[in-house]
Amino acid sequence: MATRARSNPDKPKAAPKTPRRRDPAEPAASGQCLCGAVRFEIGVPARWAWHDHSAASRRAHGAACATYVGCWRSRLQVIEGADFITRYEDPETRAVRSFCGRCGAPLFYERAHAPQMVNVSRALIEGRTGREPRYHIAIEQTPDWAYLGEPLVPLKGFPGVVWERPGRKKRRDPGLI
Ligand SMILES: [Zn+2]
């Protein structure tokens, strides 16, 4: 594992520890953050995969929702850049979110009630994980601006841009979800 001498007084804790090294003979999927400083592997198939529509994950990712691959903690291994990983613990839920301290990419999401699991940002992983994200959590918290697959048409004069024609969007009634 690459180590770099960096002093970061804001870093609350060390990077997530893996209790044992992942079995090198096990099939793996590789992932990395935006800048490439942090690289990791998870054993595949992963445990499960899911879309998280909660307000907390929306803010943590700066996106309409976050998609995670849940894997056993022992099957996640940070290959490179552990010193770049910064952790934030939510004071209310005690959930810990890790992100790259250099590029800000959200990496891992550990929930207090499932300490043996680590949820990994799906979008950072190349290739397949052995699990499709078929599950949705907190879908009632989906914002009304999220794209839900509405029909799109080319925008005249802007090659490569498609858009949703006004008036087509149906407001969702949260009570019906
Ligand atoms: Zn990075």
Q: How confident is the model at residue 23 (pLDDT cuts 50, 70, 90)?
A: confident
Q: What is the whole-number distance in angstroms between the Cα of residue 35 and the centre of ligand 1?
A: 4
> For position 175, what pLDDT does the model report?
54
81 Cα–ligand 1 center, Å: 9
What's the gap in Å between 46 CA and the centre of ligand 1? 23
Q: CA 60 to CA 2: how far, in whole Å?
A: 27
Domain positions in the chain? 28-142
Distance, in Å, from the CA atom of 64 to the CA atom of 159, rounded to the nearest integer, reads 25
What's the gap in Å between 83 CA and the centre of ligand 1? Answer: 11
Q: What is the pLDDT of residues 27-77, one digit of tens each?
A: 999 999 999 999 999 999 999 999 999 999 999 999 999 999 999 999 999
Res. 9: pLDDT tops 50: no
Q: Judge residue 73's burial from the number of C-beta atoms within 10 Å of its C-beta, 0-12 exposed, 13-18 middle, 19 or more buried.
A: middle
Say how many Å lie between the CA of residue 101 and the centre of ligand 1.
Answer: 7
pLDDT above 90 (res 6): no
How many whole angstroms from 56 Cα to the centroid of ligand 1?
A: 21
Å from CA of 105 to ligand 1 middle? 6
Centre of ligand 1 to C-alpha 48, Å, is 25
d(CA 76, CA 41): 6
CA 103 – ligand 1 centroid, Å: 4
Q: How far away, in angstroms, is 65 Cα from ligand 1 center? A: 20
Is the CB of residue 18 less than 8 Å from the CB of residue 42? no
State the pTM of this model: 0.81
Q: What is the CATH number of domain 28-142?
A: 2.170.150.70
Residues near 138 by Cβ (< 8 Å), separated by ≥ 6? 52, 53, 54, 55, 57
Mean pLDDT calculated for residue range 134-157: 96
Would strands 106-110 and 162-163 be described as parallel, antiparallel, or unpaired?
A: unpaired
Residue 103 tokens, joined:
């590029």
